[in-house]
Chains A and B, each alone.
Chain A
Amino acid sequence: MSASSGYYIPHEARWPIVGSVGLFLFFMGFGSFLNDGSLGLPLLLIGAAIIVWMMFGWFSMVVRESEAGTYNGQVDVSFRMAMMWFIFSEVMFFGAFFGALFYARQFSGPWISGDGGGGAAMTNAVLWNGFDYIWPNNGPGKIGDGFAFNQGFTEMSWFGLPLINTLLLLTSGVTCTIAHHAIKDGNHEKMVRWLAATVGLGAVFVACQAYEYYHAYHALGLKLTTGIYGSTFFMLTGFHGFHVSMGAIMLFFVMLRGMKKHFTAENHFAFEAAAWYWHFVDVVWLGLFIFVYLV
């Protein structure tokens, strides 16, 4: 009857404190780096190295324990819940940036151009002298000008790279699912093949995105500093790109474990966690595609 008897409770956790120290050094370093402190960069790198070390150590410990059959079904459920809620927290993090984009487009922009209740008309007339609001823009102060707003370009065109990227990610979602079905059939080889395809598609996506950034910076003059458009565009796509990279790395390690035949048809939570994460990244991209590129 007892579901919890045999629930694996580790009796020592050395990695968390290592992780804390790593994070601490990393962010202390980052902080002083931002303030041009000379110690900043080395500290940051040491911190990053410790974090990577911690991740390797922690995850391989978990993998070892999992392989040794330490975890029962209930532990598995805990892992699943943790991953689900973690992804939910990430959704809310992106929500903040989508919210900023929405607010800037629907409220601040129109307000500055005189559209809205209260003092909007005066804001436009007195402070911003007839500024005309068309999305995208870099604000009435033309902050970080250089991008040719309203001269042929309306915004980063959705047609072209972004569309290709959308297709890439959607396809990768499919390949990932095929891989999942493969492992559910206990077919490691097939799983590894399709995972390789997924990771490959992710890598191509990141490459395309890098190229798009390059193009934006050098050909279009669109930078992170290009007013609110640059800010929202790069922060949203940038955080997304970072998450794609993380997701691809996760899938890559899952693939390596697949090569070592770590999974079974029933027990392959690591795969599923990475796959959920991948789908989450996918869905965020759809949001980006619609709200950043399309409308």
Chain B
Amino acid sequence: MSCSTRSVIARLAALIALLCVLPAAYAGYGDALNMPVGVTEVSREVYGLHMLIFKICVVIGAVVFGVMIYSMIYHRKSRGAKPATFHESTTAEIVWTVTPFVILLFMAWPAAKVLIKMEDFSDSEMTVKITGFQWRWHYDYIEEGVDYFSQLHPQHNEARQLGSDTDLAQFDNYIKEVDNPLILPVGKKIRFLHTAADVIHAWWVPDLAVKKDSIPGFINENWALIEEPGIYRGKCAELCGRDHGFMPIVVKAVPQEEYDAFIAEKKAAGQSAHNETTRQWDRAELVARGEEVYNRNCMGCHQQNGQGIPGMFPPIAGSDVATGDIVAHLKTVLNGVDGTAMQAYGTLLSDVELASVITYQRNSLGNAIGDVMQPYFVGQVRDGTSDSAPIASAQADEIDFLKIDDASTESEAGVDKL
């Protein structure tokens, strides 16, 4: 007994020592062990605070466990220890009430200072509004009038599907890559406005020590002043449904000039997007584009083959909506279906994307209606300048954008896959 007890205690001691030392020894090494120091003043202060309280905790732990271990070794019955009878000491109680309290004060003071700094929103130089969607981010450079969506990179999206069997090692930043990163200038105090369109998300970039909940119907603020150019990755940090794990954030911090160039380019692209929206598209083009849009936005529920999941998500193949009145179909997607997971895609997708996904659903996935939705018409329905009634009659008149385009009615093979 005594022998095994001793070895038991030795093992326990070793284990505890290991537990205490391990994090201390590793702190600061390797990106999979500790909090990043980050690239803002605030993030560095948070890191400092973290290490401070961590060390205090290690010391407290070491003292408490040390006394326990000593006691376990020397105050064992097998060593002939006779139990003492003391069981009370007001002095002791006061000491170990007051001492921790004082230690806490030493933690609370710097913590409050950092917190106050974090909450100081004054004098920001620019504003980005960040809206969380299931499951992508929308960035709006309020002063510039530039905005766009950012979501998991399509290749990563494919690789992460159940049963994809992709070799993940080929990705440098598996599920941390997006299609359109958020570009920010260094050296500027940037104010972020956080909100959400559907459920609560949280925009978190560890290197900036920025994490704030995006709450539908409310706007939260926080800020960052990035000091070094670089790529900083983050994640959505509030459970937001099925693909919560797949809404990464990539912030690309660049020098001011590069940022200005980016904004200028975006503004120009906005112009060309406008041209895309107003021009006439042919069906093959829309179906091809639509497949991409579908796989990115709709597949999660309606499935890649359009069969849906019985009882949860209706099939698109043979659906009354997707084979019925095209305007009603558009409106279903534009406005969503209240009280279901089918959300309003009007705010999420551009006119081109909507037109193409509608066209795709009607002409693929087992449907072959043959009609076409044009982007500019989406715009008209969107802002109410056109509605179902005139179209219904227009349909009868077979006006151009609804006319079956014989040239592209041939088989799907003619559509090149992306």
Q: Would you call B195 an interface residue if the criterion is a C-beta within 8 Å of the partner chain's C-beta atoms?
A: yes
Interface status of A160 (Cβ within 8 A of chain B)? no
Contact status B219-A122, CB under 8 Å: yes
CB <8 Å contact, A119 and B219: yes
- Chain B residues contacting A126 (CB-CB under 8 Å) are 129, 193, 195, 219
User: Quick one: CB contact mask for A117-144 with B, threshold 8 Å, 1 for yes?
Assistant: 0111011001110000000000000000
* Contact of A119 with B129 in the complex, beta carbons under 8 Å: no
Which residues of chain B are near A119, meaning CB under 8 Å? 193-194, 218-221
The verdict on B217 contacting chain A, using a C-beta distance below 8 Å, is yes
State whether the Cβ of A111 lies closer than 8 Å to any Cβ in chain B: yes
How far does the alpha carbon of A129 sit from the alpha carbon of B389 in the complex, in Å? 31
Q: Is A112 an interface residue (CB 8 A)?
A: yes
CA distance A95 to B194 in the complex (A): 31
Q: Which residue of B lies closest to A123 (CB)?
A: B219
Which residues on A sit within 8 Å (CB–CB) of B129? 126
Consensus secondary structure, chain B interface? strand
- Residues in B whose Cβ lies below 8 Å from that of A120: 219
User: Interface 1/0s, chain A 209-249, versus B by CB < 8 A?
Assistant: 00000000000000000000000000000000000000000
Q: How far is the CA of A99 from the CA of B74 in the complex (A)?
A: 55
Residues of the A chain whose Cβ atoms lie less than 8 Å from the Cβ of B195: 123, 126-127
List chain A residues, Cβ under 8 A from B220.
Answer: 118-119
Considering only residues 352-387 of chain B, those with a C-beta below 8 Å from chain A are: none
For the complex, what is the distance from the CA of A111 to the CA of B121, rounded to whole Å?
17
By beta carbon, the residue of chain A nearest B127 is A122
Please measure, in the bound complex, the distance between the C-alpha atom of A101 and the C-alpha atom of B129, giving whole angstroms: 30
Query: What residues of B have a CB within 8 angstroms of the CB of A128 in the complex?
Result: 217
Which residue of chain A is the closest to B140 with respect to CB atoms?
Answer: A126
Q: How far is the CA of A128 from the CA of B218 in the complex (A)?
A: 9
**Docked pose: A120 CA to B218 CA in angstroms:** 8
Interface of B with A (CB < 8 Å)? 119, 121, 129, 193-195, 217-221
* Chain A residues near B (Cβ < 8 Å): 111-112, 118-120, 122-123, 126-128
A-B contact pairs, 18 of them (CB 8 A): A111-B218, A112-B217, A118-B121, A118-B220, A119-B193, A119-B221, A120-B219, A122-B193, A122-B219, A122-B221, A123-B217, A123-B218, A123-B219, A126-B193, A126-B219, A127-B218, A127-B219, A128-B217
Closest 3 A/B residue pairs (Cβ): A119-B219, A123-B219, A119-B221
